Chain A
Amino acid sequence: DVKVTQSSRYLVKRTGEKVFLECVQDMDHENMFWYRQDPGLGLRLIYFSYDVKMKEKGDIPEGYSVSREKKERFSLILESASTNQTSMYLCASSVGTRNTEAFFGQGTRLTVV
């Protein structure tokens, strides 16, 4: 089975801290994604990556950056966490061809206080 693993299930950080959310997939997938999920807003794409060191902005990239130094790992970085970044963060991966499914991790619930 494909496994997408997010490093933390719950995280509490202070305003202004630099926060790293890590995601690892074990199926050699080319594509990896970071979403945030908020009540009433659904899932919104922050960034995605289609290859090592390659990244594309999603719909809401402001306040975030990403890093993909190895194929299996995709990191989401909050340079200076703010309370409006309190959310559920979901990582996903998929094979790099057109009509394939994406596999999601369990999510990280981040609270910024």
Chain B
Amino acid sequence: DAKTTQPPSMDCAEGRAANLPCNHSTISGNEYVYWYRQIHSQGPQYIIHGLKNNETNEMASLIITEDRKSSTLILPHATLRDTAVYYCIVRVFTLMEYGNKLVFGAGTILRVKS
């Protein structure tokens, strides 16, 4: 299983871009990179995922390096409500078509400050 490495915590000023890095140097060719976040006392929430191209949605952008060994989640204009633990996950697939599972690391605590 590919593992991920994230910094334990980061601070960001409100209104600025938050750039959260993730290393996944052992990722294999058919594994996707997923990002989730968990706001205090809630279940994790899906943010975005990608394979090798950069992705953008209404919440964030995901930049994956060409060698796929690292990625960066970008929250373009961070707000206080973005304060959460952010998890970078490489999707692990079982041998079966279905039943793929998520394996969470420790994540990064992002603190957005006014």
Task: List the interface of chain A (C-beta within 8 A of B).
Answer: 4, 30-31, 33, 35, 40-45, 48-51, 54, 56, 58-59, 90, 92, 96-99, 101-107
Contacts and interface: CB of A to CB of B under 8 A. Distances in A.
B43 A98 contact: no
Given A31-B98, A56-B99, A98-B91, A44 B104 contact: yes
B101 interface: yes
B32 A50 contact: no
Given A42-B105, A42-B107, A44-B104, A103 B99 contact: no
5 contacts: A45-B101, A58-B101, A96-B99, A98-B32, A98-B93
A102 B44 CA distance: 9
Contacts of A33: 101-102
Given A42-B107, A99-B91, A90 B101 contact: no
Given A35-B104, A43-B104, A45-B103, A50 B98 contact: yes
A90 B104 CA distance: 12
A18 B92 CA distance: 32
Interface in B28-44: 32, 34, 36, 41-44
A24 to B, nearest CB: 14
Interface size grouping (class) on chain B = 20 to 34
Contacts of A45: 101-104
Given A30-B98, A45-B104, 16 more contacts: A4-B43, A31-B98, A41-B106, A43-B87, A50-B98, A90-B44, A92-B44, A98-B97, A99-B32, A99-B49, A99-B51, A99-B91, A101-B46, A102-B44, A102-B102, A104-B45
A95 B91 CA distance: 14
B100 interface: yes
A102 B105 contact: no
B99 A50 contact: yes
Contacts of A50: 94, 96, 98-99
Nearest to B103: A45
Contacts of A106: 42-43
